[in-house]
Chain A
Amino acid sequence: MNGPGMFRTPLKRARGLGSAKDGTVHFMRQRITAVAVALAGIYLLGLLFGLGGVDYAGARAIVANPFNATVLAGFLVAAFWHAKLGLQVIIEDYVHAPLLAGIAHLANIFVCALAAIAGVLAVVRIALGA
């Protein structure tokens, strides 16, 4: 019951280390991509509603429109960037086993990056008629 040990907390391991110095960048990128996704998303939803009764060639023509293709590519990059940042925080908060957390972080980065690349590549193929 006595001695200084009873007051010891995990604080001792954090004291003196300071912050990671990159929290603000994460915060700002999360918000900037949020605004980008919201604005581009509204435009794309408008496109989607106009897609009614459109056949395969019509759908391709809408995506191939240079402005639409640009917005779509921007949306995909911003959306998967936003998803990566959000899922990263969820992993940091809930996955505490170091090995599992590391695997989860890698999987998050790889899946989000590959999905963004695959989506943009599909848009480019359609836009160039390939």
Chain B
Amino acid sequence: MAAPDSPASPRVRERPLSPHLQVYKRQVQMMTSITHRATGMVLAVGALAMVWGLTALAAGPERWDAFAACVGSPLGKLVLFGFTWALAYHFINGIRHLVQDAGYGFAVPDFVRSSWISVIGSIVLAVLGWAVALATWGQA
């Protein structure tokens, strides 16, 4: 008898072990879940950028100016806006997860509504944050 779970036995290997992604209707809850992971990875890189800024600040004015020039360039601002949105999303959706960890918001309508709050709220928060920053810092 050949080992049934070996690659040589395709009948057993091809049996789906869990419901496959393709058979699911697209739902906002799927997006919020995977986006939380994706933004988490992005923010890990963002945290490294923060350390870069702090070490530059500690190293002296020249290193700080180089860092500020990088961040202030058009590409730097674009990346910074991406970090801002990722932070806003991970923040709002993270609070949503904490609320769910406490046992609330599991009814399907609540789940869908809180998902949309994460999506739309993060965009609003990111744009609002930049609007306030540009207004108070007085630079475009």
Measuring CB to CB, which residues of chain A are less than 8 angstroms from any residue of chain B?
3, 5-6, 8-10, 31, 34-35, 38, 41, 45, 49, 51-53, 56, 59-60, 63, 72, 76, 79-80, 83, 86-87, 90, 111-112, 115, 118-119, 121-123, 125-126, 130
Complex: A59 Cα to B137 Cα, angstroms = 14
| A119 and B40 form a contact (CB under 8 A) | no
| A118 and B55 form a contact (CB under 8 A) | yes
| Chain A residues with CB below 8 A from B43, complex form | 83
Q: How far is the CB of B44 from chain A (nearest CB, A)?
A: 4
Select A115's contact among B48, B65, B91, B138, beta carbons within 8 Å. Answer: B48
Instruction: List the B residue with the shortest CB-CB distance to A87.
Output: B44
Task: Answer yes or no: B108 CB below 8 A from chain A CBs.
Answer: no
Give chain B interface residues in 25-67, CB to chain A under 8 Å: 37, 40-41, 43-44, 47-48, 50-51, 54-55, 57-58, 61, 64-65
| A3 and B1 form a contact (CB under 8 A) | yes
Chain B interface size band reads: 20 to 34
Complex: A63 Cα to B138 Cα, angstroms = 22
| Chain B residues with CB below 8 A from A76, complex form | 47, 50-51
| Chain A residues with CB below 8 A from B138, complex form | 52-53
Contacts known (A52-B133, A83-B44, A122-B57); A6 close to B51, Cβ less than 8 A: no
B-side binding surface: helix, strand, loop or mixed? helix
| B40 and A6 form a contact (CB under 8 A) | no
| A119 and B54 form a contact (CB under 8 A) | yes
Complex: A3 Cα to B4 Cα, angstroms = 11
Q: How far is the CB of A32 from chain B (nearest CB, A)?
A: 11
Contacts known (A38-B91, A63-B54); A10 close to B1, Cβ less than 8 A: no
Complex: A119 Cα to B133 Cα, angstroms = 24
| Chain A residues with CB below 8 A from B98, complex form | 31, 34-35
Encode B4-35 as 1/0 by CB contact (under 8 A) with A.
11000000100000000000000000000000
| Chain A residues with CB below 8 A from B3, complex form | 5
| Chain A residues with CB below 8 A from B136, complex form | 49, 52
| Chain A residues with CB below 8 A from B2, complex form | 5
Instruction: List the B residue with the shortest CB-CB distance to A85.
Output: B40
| Chain B residues with CB below 8 A from A83, complex form | 40, 43-44, 47
Of the A-B pairs whose beta carbons lie under 8 Å apart in the complex, a sample of 5, sorted by A's number, is A59-B57, A76-B51, A79-B47, A119-B54, A122-B55
